[in-house]
């Protein structure tokens, strides 16, 4: 059987390559992994960083995020990047009221305090005791997480299912392996 004229077309091979490559990339980034919603207890949060109010796609927000990333990469602090949204971004260019920083692996130490003052960072202790949180996570690259609205829906649905109240903000934790975890603290936990 002779191949048809379409098999000689570069467009055919380009389309065939996309049909094969796109699912492979999606799989490699963890796109097929399920979204987990669970209640866990965490040790509390010691977070340092900078307050930010402005648009979601602001250069200043990106600058603060990259600044925190460099502090962690340089070993000035131990932990992961943390972003607290007091007001979730609305729309592509929505207004954001947030705190961009680092969740420290351990509470404030003298050395961390020295680094904080040298870098002119603000300290924020969300909770100094263990708390229960509703955690939304996915074993994938952060780009494979659902949009903020869907994450909020899952958090609120779980809170309603458990008949618990949550604090009016979320904490996004960005780990070095590009994993994103979103946590909402359960009130009075």
Tokens 């074993």 belong to residue: 139
Nearest alpha carbon to residue 174 among 18, 7, 47: 47
Q: Mean pLDDT in the chain?
A: 81
Query: Given a cut of 70, is residue 137 above it in pLDDT?
Result: yes
Per-residue confidence (pLDDT) for residue 45, from 0 to 100: 83
Q: Please write the tens of the pLDDT for every residue from 10-58.
A: 787 788 778 888 888 877 777 777 788 999 998 888 888 899 988 878 8
Per-residue confidence (pLDDT) for residue 124, from 0 to 100: 66
Cβ pair 100, 61 in contact under 8 A? yes
Q: Please write the tens of the pLDDT for every residue from 50-97.
A: 999 888 788 998 899 999 999 899 888 889 999 998 866 555 567 788
Burial per residue of 59-95, b for 16 or more beta-carbon CB atoms within 10 angstroms, e otherwise: eebeebbebbeebbeeeebebbbbbbbeebbeeeeee
Domains of the chain are 36-185 (3.20.80.10)
Query: Given a cut of 60, is residue 109 above it in pLDDT?
Result: no
The predicted model scores a pTM of 0.77
More confident residue, 146 or 39: 39
User: What pLDDT band is residue 116 in, cutting at 50, 70 and 90?
Assistant: low
């Amino acid at each position: 059987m002779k191949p048809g004229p379409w098999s000689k077309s570069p467009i055919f091979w380009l389309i065939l390559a996309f049909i094969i490559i796109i699912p492979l990339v999606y799989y490699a980034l963890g796109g097929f992994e399920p979204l987990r919603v669970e209640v866990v207890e965490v040790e509390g949060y010691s977070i340092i960083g900078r307050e930010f109010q402005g648009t979601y796609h602001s250069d200043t927000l990106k600058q603060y995020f990259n600044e925190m990333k460099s502090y962690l990469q340089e070993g000035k602090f131990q932990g992961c990047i943390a972003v607290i949204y007091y007001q979730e971004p609305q729309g592509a260019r929505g207004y954001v009221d947030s705190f961009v920083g680092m969740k420290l692996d351990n509470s404030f130490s003298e050395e961390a305090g020295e680094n904080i003052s040298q870098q002119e960072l603000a300290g924020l202790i969300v909770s100094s005791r263990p708390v229960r949180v509703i955690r939304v996570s996915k074993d994938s690259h952060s780009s494979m997480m659902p949009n903020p609205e869907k994450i909020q829906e899952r958090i609120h649905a779980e809170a309603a299912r458990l008949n618990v109240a949550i604090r009016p903000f979320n904490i996004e934790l960005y780990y070095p392996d590009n994993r994103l975890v979103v946590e909402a603290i359960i009130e009075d936990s």
